[in-house]
Amino acid sequence: MALLWLAVLLTSASGLPQSQEDHYSPIKNLRIEPVERRLTWDLHGNVSEIMCFINSKFITKAVNHNRYCQFHVLPSCEVKNFSISLTKGPPFLMGIQYPLHEGNPEAAARGLDCRVHDVDVLTCSWDVGREAPRDIQYHLYWQELRTRREYECPNYEMDPRGKLVRCHFNDVSRLPKHLQILVRGTSQSAWIPCSDRTVELSEIEILNPPNITATCNKSYLMMEWEACSHFNNRFEYELQLQKGSDPAYTEKLQEKFFELHNPKNYVVRLRAKGFYRKSWSEWSAPQSFECDLGEDSPRPDWLLAALVLLATLLVLGLVIALCGSSGSRACVSVLRGTQCCRKSSLPSRT
């Protein structure tokens, strides 16, 4: 690896065409095209497949007949080594650095970290550079990857020295799902390099612990919950249960419900994460369910009273309908002990 980067360092360190190139090299004028997000070069003659690396890590292969390598995003602040090599033929390596900034990198914001939380909020925080001048101030921007337009943070927080070290975006649903975060420093006495981070919001989201709703009796305990997110629609759950004084145990689930039979008394709590994601939410507050009280299938008193009243009204309606039939001499006795509600039209005998 040391020999690899020795060869890279022999090339230009600016992102401009190299000044020292082999006259017979099939590849010349290696350069970065920032707008197109390409590592490109001038090709002379036929070559085998070309591979592109960033900091010695293979990223992609050349496209368009070995004319350039296309990247999804390029660094805006941190200087990285871009290099190319051939898959066949004699050993070949050419590299440049991009971007190249002036100024003391130790004055730049450090420890830039971003998290989506509480469903709607994106918070980014950073620390003041170790060698930042006394009048340093920082400002945070997010950048669209396609257009490279920048938008400044609307809600800052300061540390006790009056330095901006935190930012909140309160409506992440309006942000692109994939964006670049930059922190730029300003000072009257020095030029300050920026700091950046490319983020996918679904990957940095910390979910809120889901709320559990439940119904139970002596026969069963049914629990349901819902996780909320603008970026993830598939989730994993860990449900921790403890029955009475027994040791707690954990169920791993993908469903949004869980049922227990003959439950008696349980204490439960729950946490969630996006599917294929690494970060779990906090555990929900412990919830107690006492399911050994009352009848197996209790019905509220108001429901029983309503059912009795409805049955009574139905019976009375049936009686009135039958007794009102034309030509009927006597009503059909519907209720036990009832007599005809309509008197005979014949005179009574004396």
pLDDT for the residue 38: 93
- The whole-number average pLDDT for the span 39-52 is 89
Q: What is the pLDDT of residues 69-126, one digit of tens each?
A: 999 888 888 888 999 998 887 778 889 999 887 788 899 999 999 999 999 999 999 9
pLDDT for the residue 315: 61
Question: Could you tell me what percent of the chain has a pLDDT over 90?
Answer: 55
230: left (phi over 0), alpha (psi -120 to 50) or beta: alpha
d(CA 59, CA 345): 104
Q: What is the pLDDT of residues 229-238, one digit of tens each?
A: 999 999 999 9
49-67 residues labelled b (16+ CB within 10 A) or e (exposed): ebbbbbeeeeeeebeeebe
d(CA 280, CA 269): 13
Handedness of CA 337, 342, 343, 344 (dihedral sign): negative
Three-state DSSP at 276 gives: coil
User: Could you give the domains of the chain?
Assistant: 2-98 (2.60.40.3850), 105-200 (2.60.40.10), 211-290 (2.60.40.10)
- Return the C-alpha torsion angle 203, 208, 209, 213, nearest 10: -120
pLDDT for the residue 264: 85
- The whole-number average pLDDT for the span 147-170 is 93
> Which of 10, 41, 39 minimizes the C-alpha distance to 27?
41
pLDDT over 60 at 343, yes or no = no
pLDDT for the residue 15: 42
**Is there a contact between 175 and 169 (Cβ–Cβ < 8 Å)?**
yes
Number of other CB atoms surrounding residue 219 within 10 Å: 13
The answer to whether the predicted template modeling score (pTM) of the entire model surpasses 0.75 is: no
16 or 67, higher pLDDT: 67
> Which of 68, 11, 63, 10 minimizes the C-alpha distance to 39?
68
- The whole-number average pLDDT for the span 175-197 is 92
ω into residue 99 within 30 of 0, thus cis? yes
pLDDT for the residue 5: 41
pLDDT for the residue 31: 94
**Is there a contact between 308 and 294 (Cβ–Cβ < 8 Å)?**
no
pLDDT over 50 at 243, yes or no = yes
Side chain identity at residue 177, one-letter code: K
